[in-house]
């Protein structure tokens, strides 16, 4: 059975999204991305140096990747929108990961500003992937205003603490008709596998790979973990509701089954 994730019209085989921040060198970024088997890579537009090819991180990203510029550094919807437009004008494509963060202590996303920015950018034709605190009503609003996926955090950025928001993410998986990509907090391959077993559509991993002693090996480990988690989900582990099966073995007699 083919199991594909489609976002913004792009078919993805790998459900591991990777990042480019926090790496010890740009060369390591390239090697790691190749090893990760990933197809989508996020990068902070604030760090992209268009005037300086040697410093420009984009030149270290293999060609077969879909670029997912993020709006890291933006504090408000307005700043998000401006960064997104700069990214597009600079040739980074029309995918955008919204990060609207006005809390530098925990780096928690501002859901309100995120909704506003998503609405504006979706209307402008961007494929918008908003990074949010997992909240059902917020995710519903994002769905309404045209987000292409929802990226809830598992734990605060860079904390490596795993799926601390598991119950809330589970609700999003059940209720939202968009791909759910768990972003932030995933510290180990087993965390990624757990998210995938639950039925998440993909995970984004940056810190755990970038700051590992051997980022290349760690990227491979995440690739396998994400695949294993997905297969487990497809194999039936992912049944979140433990009631309402189609064939009603306990009450079928009432309907003459």
Interface residue with another protein, options 3, 11, 13, 25 (CB under 8 A): 25
Q: Is 210 in the site for another protein (CB under 8 A)?
A: yes
CB closer to another protein out of 48 and 121: 48
Q: Is 24 in the site for another protein (CB under 8 A)?
A: yes
Q: How far is the CB of 45 from another protein (least distance, A)?
A: 6
Instruction: Calculate the dihedral angle through the C-alpha atoms of 140, 144, 147, 151, rounding to the nearest 10 degrees.
Output: 0
Interface residue with another protein, options 26, 30, 166, 170 (CB under 8 A): 26
CB closer to another protein out of 178 and 212: 212
The yes-or-no answer on residue 97 being catalytic is yes
What residues from 46 to 75 belong to the interface with another protein (CB under 8 A)?
46-49, 52, 55, 73, 75
Interface residue with another protein, options 45, 120, 173, 176 (CB under 8 A): 45
How many residues make contact with another protein (CB under 8 A)?
Answer: 31
Residue-wise burial string across 123-134, b where 16 or more C-beta atoms lie within 10 A, e elsewhere: eeebbbbbbbbb
Q: Is 98 in the site for another protein (CB under 8 A)?
A: no
Q: Would you mind telling me the total number of residues written for the chain in this entry?
A: 257
Q: Is 229 in the site for another protein (CB under 8 A)?
A: no
Is residue 44 annotated as involved in ligand binding?
no
What residues from 107 to 166 belong to the interface with another protein (CB under 8 A)?
107, 158-160
Give the residue numbers annotated as catalytic, written as ranges. 97
Residues that bind another protein (CB under 8 A): 21-26, 45-49, 52, 55, 73, 75, 79, 82-83, 86, 102-107, 158-160, 207, 210-211
């Amino acid at each position: 059975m083919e199991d594909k994730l489609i976002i913004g019209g792009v078919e993805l085989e790998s459900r591991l999204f990777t990042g480019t921040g926090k790496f010890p060198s740009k060369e390591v970024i390239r090697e790691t991305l190749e090893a990760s088997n990933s197809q989508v890579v996020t990068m902070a537009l604030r760090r992209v140096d268009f005037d300086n090819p040697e410093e420009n991180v984009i030149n270290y990203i293999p060609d077969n990747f879909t670029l997912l510029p993020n709006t890291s550094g933006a504090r408000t919807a307005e700043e998000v929108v401006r960064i997104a437009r700069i990214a597009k004008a600079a040739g980074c494509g029309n995918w955008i990961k919204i990060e609207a963060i006005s809390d530098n202590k925990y780096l928690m996303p501002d859901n309100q500003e995120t909704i506003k920015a998503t609405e504006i950018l979706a209307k402008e034709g961007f494929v918008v992937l908003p990074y949010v605190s997992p909240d059902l009503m917020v995710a519903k609003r994002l769905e309404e205003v045209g987000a292409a996926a929802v990226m809830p955090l598992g734990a605060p950025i860079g904390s490596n603490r795993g799926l601390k928001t598991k119950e809330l993410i589970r609700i999003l998986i059940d209720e939202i008709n968009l791909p759910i990509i768990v972003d932030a907090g995933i510290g180990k391959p087993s965390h990624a596998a757990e998210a995938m077993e639950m039925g998440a559509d993909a995970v984004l991993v940056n810190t755990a790979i970038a700051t590992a002693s051997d980022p290349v090996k760690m990227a491979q480990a995440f690739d396998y973990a994400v695949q294993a988690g997905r297969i487990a989900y497809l194999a039936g582990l992912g049944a979140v509701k433990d009631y309402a099966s189609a064939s009603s073995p306990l009450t079928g007699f009432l309907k003459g089954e």
